[in-house]
Structure 1
Amino acid sequence: MTRLRVTPGYRRGRDRLYVSRRDGTAVAWYDKGTGRVNLLAGAGRDDILAALAPYLAGEVTVGPAPVPTPAELDRLSLHPDDDLAPNRPGEALHALLDHEEPAPAPRLPALAALWRRQDPRRTELAAQQLLGTALDALEGAGWRVLHSIPLPGAARIDHLAIGPAGVLTVRALAAGGRRVRVDDPLVATGRGEPLPHLRWARRDAERASLALATAVRPVLALAEAHPPHGALPAPPDVQVLRETDISALASLGGVLKPADIEALYATARNRHTWHRV
């Protein structure tokens, strides 16, 4: 029998492990929350359980999979290497930091820890994780979220949120407790050099709109920004939010129906969707 592969996934707030053949055809999935292995056609029960054995904990039930929804069928037909849904917030930064050289002065732990804290990539990763967690919390309100979407030319969309209020690209900016100054298209944190973050946020939305053939609104999300004296100034076409404002998106709607959300999410999670933008 062709060796099976096991790939982690995340669906409707549940951690799953998908089992597939080497050609990408899914043959089962294991739902960690319910402890159930759902079997599909294409492989034997014993082979599937052998592939999952290192990951199973406690008693599990095994049986035929429930009738899949159209979105689930799209997921099962997508090769694991092309599925962007398992991406963590800041996935590209994770890859860089996980494979970098060890910090200098390994015999001086305090200096090594200071070196890590001062690495701007780690500050950016922390911001990506903070905002990613806030966006993932919208799942219960009918939103679907993807992180770290790769684009041609080594560019990336930090976060993509699809929900009742429409489709949003969310560009993360680490404020680090400093005040944020907005002067379209420039944004500065503290005494740092102003950079065209609003222009970059618009460009993310334009590329996403081209890829998904739908309207996409840009959002600039500030992680740990110093509370302003008043509302953050922003142009009418770009939302500027703090991480504490993201939860308010759960109460918005009137743009997309659940079936539309699922269809766009199925398209967006396919890596090939983004190759032409």
Structure 2
Amino acid sequence: MGSSDVVVVIDASVTRWQRFGKDRLYVTAPDGSPLGWHDLATGATHYATADAALLDATVARWRAQHGHVGRSELVGVVPSPAASPEGRRTASSADGPSTPRPEPAADEDLTLRPPGQSLADRLTELDAQAASAQAPARYWWAELDELRAQDRLVRAQSPLGDLLRGLVGRRRPERQELRDLMREAKQEARRHEAAAAPTVRELAAEAVSWQRGLDGELVVGQLLAEVVRRDPRWRVLHSVPVGSRGADIDHVLVGPGGVLTLKTKHHPSARVFVANDAVLVNGTRYPYVRNARHEAQRAERLLTAAVGRRVVVEGVVVVRAQDLTVRAQPADVHVLASRRLVRWLRARPEVLAADEVDAVFAAARRASTWRA
């Protein structure tokens, strides 16, 4: 009723699966993890990982060797978007890994970005990666359901006969073949689940960290909305994309009290200690002050270039923690608890006139300002 054969091509294992009119190639990496599968009937390729180049090359080589050469193989393998440099993870800002995301249009109005936009995008990417890693197993579980449905139809044709055959341990050949296929599908589903499990666990752990950061940015976003409500002279931007490598500034604030870049840190169950540039979270040191300083300096350079005169920018680290102790403030960065943010901003001396606020914010809200 069908056949299955395995061949190793350029270090990747290729399993051809033919059942019920389907003809597919399942490709596995040298370490046993699934790369995806290719439908020989339709030419569609389904990627389980970002290593699309190996999957595409493996499928092309197999098809060429077995007389299944298509147009793409004749002109060379074209990597999918997932395999392009733009689709891979790159180094990020000093706080941790980030993923390049589509850059906003040069004239995009950044006031339309909600708090935590970049983190929400990253969580969506992680969900997609987890779903992709689990796709081969889900396919086999679906295949198992389909085989069970076919088995029920075959059994319904002769229920009494099947019952009697079952009592003596003998099934009709067509039912026996379906049972064998069901056993094979279940084994494949469990094998792919086991292969995907480490990746899924890693993605889930990473998602917890990003979700914690998103929670912090949403809280600070609400506080900044309160500041603007009380004093509309303040203007705020959230999740400002900077450069082309996926970095962003959590919040940019422009108002009578000056221009500020805010970095939010969400440690609701931790004790945080600050002494000058040293920030300790439950005893572990983090470079929050250094990163906030770098963000402020970069924003100052970009805004100064866009406005045409010097724009002074101060960095702020807003901490949401069980306990925050500030023994000594850094020389050029402010560290404060989130509960103090609204009062602290409203107490700042006025350093910018209304026309200066308008000019700086007009530049800050343009995506093109932050690309240099």
Distance 1:125 1:215 in 2: 28
- Which string of whole-angstrom CA distances, capped at 9 and with x for unpartnered residues, describes residues 42-66 of structure 1? xxxxxxxxxxxxxxxxxxxxxxxxx
Partner in structure 1 of residue 293 of structure 2? 202
Residue 80 of structure 1 and its aligned partner are, at CA, apart by 8.9
Q: How many residues align?
A: 187
Structure 2 residue 254 is the aligned partner of structure 1 residue 158: no
Post-superposition Cα deviations, 1:209-264, rounded to whole Å, max 9, x if no partner, equal 011110001101102x1234x64532131111111111111232320112211221
The answer (yes or no) to whether the contact 1:232–1:240 under 8 Å persists in 2 is no
- Do 1:172 and 1:220's aligned partners in 2 also have CA atoms closer than 8 Å? yes
The one-letter amino acid paired with 1:222 is V
Aligned equivalents of 2:327, 2:363: Cα separation in 1: 34
C-alpha distance in 2, partners of 1:151/1:231?
29
1:117–1:123 contact (8 Å) kept in structure 2 = no
- Which structure would you say has the larger Rg? 2
Q: CA deviation at 1:177?
A: 2.6
CA deviation vs aligned residue, 1:26-77 (integer Å, no higher than 9, x gap) = xxxxxxxxxxxxxxxxxxxxxxxxxxxxxxxxxxxxxxxxxxxxxxxxxxxx
Q: What is the rounded CA distance, in whole Å, between the counterparts of 1:206 and 1:119 in structure 2?
A: 30
Match for 1:215 among 303, 307, 312? 312
Q: Comparing both structures, which one devotes a greater share of its residues to helix?
A: 2
TM (normalized to structure 2)? 0.46
Query: Which residue of 93, 118, 121 maps to 2:210?
Result: 121
Which residue does 1:261 correspond to in 2? 357
Question: Is contact 1:219-1:238 (8 Å) kept?
Answer: yes
Code of the residue aligned with 1:251 in structure 2: it is A
The aligned residue for residue 342 of structure 2 is 247
Q: Secondary structure at the match of 1:273?
A: helix
Matches within 5 A, 1:35-54: none
* Match of residue 50 from structure 1: none
Q: How many angstroms does 1:185 deviate by?
A: 3.0
Equivalent-residue separation in structure 1 for 2:270 and 2:115 (angstroms): 22
Counterpart position of 1:272: 368
Whether contact under 8 Å (1:172, 1:221) holds in the other structure is: yes
Give the AA of the match of 1:125.
Answer: L
CA RMSD of aligned residues (A): 2.6
Change (3 A) 1:227 1:189: same
Q: TM-score, normalised by structure 1?
A: 0.61
Match among 107, 121, 128 for residue 95 of structure 1 = 121
Identity %: 31
> Which amino acid counterpart does residue 188 of structure 1 have in structure 2?
L
Q: Which runs of 5+ in 2 are unaligned?
A: 1-104, 135-200, 305-310
- Map of 1:5 onto structure 2: none
